[in-house]
Structure 1
Amino acid sequence: MATPVFRFAPSPNGLLHLGHAYSALLNFDRVHEAGGRLLLRIEDIDATRCRPEYEAAIYEDLAWLGIVWETPVRRQSEHLADYRAALERLTALGLVYPAFESRAEIAKLVAARDADGSWPRDPDGAPLYPGDAKSLHGEERARLIDSGAPYALRLDTTAACRRVSGLTWNELGAGPDGEHGMVAARPEAWGDVILARKETPTSYHLSVVVDDAHQGVSEIVRGRDLFHATSVHRLLQALLDLPQPVYRHHALIRDAAGRKLSKSDRATGLRELRAAGTSPAAIRQLVGLG
């Protein structure tokens, strides 16, 4: 039997908080339970927000918690060619198109079409893409690209779902409504998601499935806020002929008001808690791991 592979994949756009500690510790504990391997991945595609000092703090905070991971660490910014190759495969299948509307223009289109509140929204509550870029003639697309206009590369989800159907995933944790076991994927609920932008050769959805496949990750332990996004990930895995991991979505650590923790909340930041004398064992208590 192959050795199980787990990963913890933070973004270096701020300091880690208790929610990150919970997810990292759950991965670490699962590694010991399963006799597996733990990988660390730095998701640093967003060059405007990711900083070297935050990446250094991630290593320091995880080591302080007693977490040990394999090296070398995979940094997404060093593997852009992998994402570009995946995007080219999807483009060759006729499943990718450029959309040229700005965020403000998309907001106006949504407002015009959502007068009665019926415009569909994705599982995160954001309105689905309302534009008509999919129907643009090839010559017009080429003209806009040659003009230097900014654009986002979107997945034609309807066409993609015609290629693969009956997608499911094995959920070892639980979804927001208690979903467990074999869960039916519903990628159509997300509309035409963004796979890349003119200035960025990948998006979270594309890079995460490519990275997990390249690293041989077999069990993905992550927050329940990403449960529904798994539908998109299963679709991309099927289109790209990538292995299917199992998933274990866990509950989120929330603040006193019930909100998901933020990297700007110093009260739950690991750096601040450590400075105040909190021990790694106490962090385990705080997140309910004993």
Structure 2
Amino acid sequence: RQSEHIERYNARLETLADRRLLYPCSCTRSDIRAALTAPQEGVAHQVYPGTCRGRPMSERREGDAIRLDLAAALELLAGDELAFTESGSAHAGRHLVDADHALRTIGDIVLGRKGDGIVAYFLASAFDDADQGISHVIRGEDLFDFTPVQVILQHLFGFPTPIYHHHPLIRDDAGKRLAKRDDARAIRTYRQDGATPEDVRRLVGL
């Protein structure tokens, strides 16, 4: 369980902080929206405008988010070939990380938060995949555009990059994506209702 690895995740954060790749951020979501000149309606991810980028980690306070300085990370990795292989039919092939595109569409993501022991999915999954020797990652297509973040973290930590397969999202009868936060049906519920493993694989396009 990820909750059992918090100290190890935090140790990884400290290595990034020592390389001056992190900074504390006290901005709220409303602060971020206000700083964006043209926020787009319906876009789930808003690229952080860099309001707190000049703050050193020595100034971090309780409750601050810890952000990755993506431009600094990309500069540090300028000599690396940042790439990943995708086996899902929608994006099959070898993908090179476009630094300019990543800066425009992803930006300085949150990797953790001081005081509450929470680390972001991107950091935890990059660490866990390497720790467990994962060679293939299967996940929803909504995460495809964020794969460059994990490739960047893998290179920063010296981790191997697994092969990725992004599958179509499972949707309900109304076409809405099933999400845990919306109390959507779990896979086990489909199984209890008589769905076979083949039915479940078909739902995700496998």
Report the TM-score when normalising by structure 2.
0.81
Q: Residue 284 of structure 1: which of 185, 190, 198 is its match?
A: 198
In 2, Cα distance between equivalents of 1:207 and 1:108: 30
- Classify 1:93/1:288 alpha carbon distance in 2 versus 1 (closer, same or farther; 3 Å): same
Q: Alignment RMSD, CA only?
A: 2.7
Structure 1 pair 132–265 and aligned structure 2 pair: CA distance change class (3 A): closer
Residue 60 (structure 1) aligns with: none
Identity over aligned residues, as a percent? 35
* Per-residue CA distance 1:202-256 (angstroms, 9 max, x = gap): 1111000001011110111111111111110000000111111111111222223
SS in 1 for 2:119: coil
Unaligned runs of 5+ in 2: none
Residue 228 of structure 1 corresponds to which residue in structure 2?
145
What does residue range 46-195 of structure 1 map to in structure 2 within 5 Å? 75-110=1-36, 113-114=37-38, 125-136=44-55, 138=56, 142=58, 145=61, 148=62, 150-165=63-78, 166-174=81-89, 178-186=90-98, 187-188=102-103, 189-195=105-111
Amino acid of the structure 2 residue aligned with 1:168 = A
Deviation track 1:34-57 (CA, whole Å, cap 9, x = no partner) reads xxxxxxxxxxxxxxxxxxxxxxxx
1:57-76 CA deviation, whole Å, 9 max, x = no partner?
xxxxxxxxxxxxxxxxxx01
Contact persistence 1:84–1:201 (CA under 8 A): no
Give the TM-score normalised by the residue count of structure 1: 0.60
Unaligned ranges ≥5, structure 1: 1-74
> Of the candidates 168, 172, 175, which is equivalent to residue 255 of structure 1?
172
Shift of residue 82, structure 1, vs aligned partner: 1.4
Instruction: State the number of aligned residues.
Output: 195
2: CA distance, partners of 1:286 / 1:167: 33
Local SS of the residue matching 2:53:
helix
**CA separation of 1:108/1:280 partners in 2, compared to 1, >3 Å: closer, same or farther?**
same
Relative to structure 1, the CA distance from residue 144 to residue 213 in structure 2 (aligned partners, 3 Å threshold; closer, same or farther) is closer
Matched, 1:197 2:110: no
| Matches of 1:220 and 1:256, distance apart in 2 | 27
> Residues 262 and 173 from structure 1, CA distance in 2 versus in 1: closer, same or farther, beyond 3 angstroms?
same
1 CA distance for matches of 2:186 and 2:119?
29
Structure 1 residue 83 displacement after superposition: 0.4
Q: Report how far residue 182 of structure 1 moved.
A: 0.4
Which of structures 1 and 2 has the larger relative contact order (alpha carbons within 8 angstroms, sep 6+)? 1
Q: Is the 8 A contact 2:22 2:68 kept in 1?
A: yes
Q: Does 1:238 align with 2:152?
A: no
- The ranges of structure 1 where at least 4 consecutive aligned residues each deviate by more than 4 angstroms after the TM superposition are 141-144, 268-275
Q: Secondary structure at the match of 2:111?
A: strand
